[in-house]
Amino acid sequence: MELRDALAQRHMVRSFSTEPIAPEALGAVLDAATRSPSAGNSQGLDLVVLEGPDRTARYWDVTLPASRRAGFRWQGLLRAPVLVVVAADPDRYVARYGEPDKARPGLGEERSAWTVPFWHVDAGMAVMAMLLRATDLGLGALFFGIFEHAAAVASALGVPEDRELVGTVALGHPDPNLAATEGHGRSADRPRRTDQIHHGTW
C-alpha cells in the first residue's frame, strides 16, 4: 500500500474478528514502533504485548470487571486478538538530556521541568507508526486510554513503577460483519476542522 493510501484509509477500528494475527504481521507492526523517531534517541518506550485470549483477558479483567462487561459499548473490542500496552520511561529522557551534548537547563534534572514531555511525544509517534503499519497490512487498530486503571494494569503486567502507561493499542482483523459506520466512536463523526493550518501567521 502506498503511504498516501495508508494515511487516507487509517481509522480507528473498535470491533474485531477472533482471527489471530500472523506472527510476521504482528512483528512488522511492533517493529514500526521501535523504528519511530525518539527525542535525543532516548528510546524510552516499552511495549507489553498481550497475544491471544488468555493474555488479553488479563487486561480486560483489570480494566473492565465482569459486572460492567455486559453493558460495554464495544463488545467487538474485547475480541481483539492482540493488545499492546504502551509504556514510557520519563527518567530515561531526563538522564539523556542531562548528558553534555544536550544539557538543556533543567531538563536533565527532573520531569517537571519539561513543558513538553518528549516521552509522550515519542509514544505518540510510535503509536502512529503502528497504526499506519497495521493499515498497510489490512489490519484494524485502536489506540485507547487506560485512564484510572493505569496503576492496576501496570501491577498486573509487572511494569516497573517508574514507567508511565500512555495507552493501549488493540490490533486484529476488522470484524467482517460490521456495517461501515458501526464501531465508530462517539468522536468520529465530529466535523473535521478546516482551519487548522496557519500560513505565515496565526
Under the rule (CB under 6 A), what is the footprint of ligand FMN? Answer: 11-12, 14, 143-145, 185, 187-188
- Judged by beta carbon, residue 190 or residue 199, the one nearer ligand FMN is 190
Closest to ligand FMN by CB, 55 vs 144, is 144
- Residue 51 dihedral angles phi and psi, to the nearest 5°: -115, 130
Q: In sequence order, what E strands does 29-155 have?
A: 45-51, 82-88, 140-144
| Residues contacting 41, CB < 8 A, separation 6+ | 96
Residue closer to ligand FMN (CB basis): 187 or 196: 187
Please, what is the minimum distance in Å from the beta carbon of residue 33 to ligand FMN?
15
- Of the two residues 16 and 143, which places its CB atom closer to ligand FMN in the complex? 143
Q: How far is the CB of 91 from ligand FMN (least distance, A)?
A: 22
118-136 and 23-34 helices, crossing angle to 10°:
150
**Shortest Å distance, C-beta 65 to ligand FMN:** 17
Q: Which residue has the cell 515519542?
A: 122
The least CB distance from residue 132 to ligand FMN, in Å, is 12
Gap between the Cα atoms of 82 and 65, Å rounded: 19
Tell me the closest approach of the beta carbon of residue 182 to ligand FMN, in angstroms. 13
Q: Which is nearer to ligand FMN, 97 or 143 (CB)?
A: 143
Torsion of CA 8, 10, 13, 18, to 10 degrees: 120
Q: In whole angstroms, what separates CA 191 from the centre of its chain?
A: 23
Minimum Å gap between C-beta 102 and ligand FMN is 27
Of 11 and 55, CB closest to ligand FMN: 11
- The grid coordinates of residue 105 equal 537547563
Q: CA triplet 170, 59, 89: central angle to 5 degrees?
A: 75
Residue 147's CB is within 10 A of a number of other CB atoms, namely 9
